[in-house]
Amino acid sequence: MDADIKQHALLSISRTVPQAGLRVVTCKGEIDDDTAPLLRDALRIDDGGSRFVLDLSAVTFLDSGGLRVLFAAHRDIAAAGGWLRIAAMTPTIQEVVQIVGLHTVIPCYPALTQAMNA
* 108 vs 28: CA distance, rounded Å: 18
Number of domains in the chain: 1
What are the pLDDT digits (tens) for 17-41? 888 889 999 999 999 999 999 999 9
User: What percent of the chain has pLDDT above 90?
Assistant: 82
For residue 95, the tally of other CB atoms under 10 A from its CB is 11
Query: Which pLDDT does position 1 carry in this prediction?
Result: 53
User: What percent of the chain has pLDDT above 70?
Assistant: 96
The answer to whether the CB of 88 falls within 8 A of the CB of 111 is yes
109-to-8, 85, 94 alpha-carbon distances in Å: 26, 8, 10
Report the CATH number that the domain containing residue 52 is assigned in CATH. Answer: 3.30.750.24
Query: Which pLDDT does position 115 carry in this prediction?
Result: 97
**How do 51-62 and 83-87 pair as beta strands?**
parallel
Range of the domain at 109: 3-117
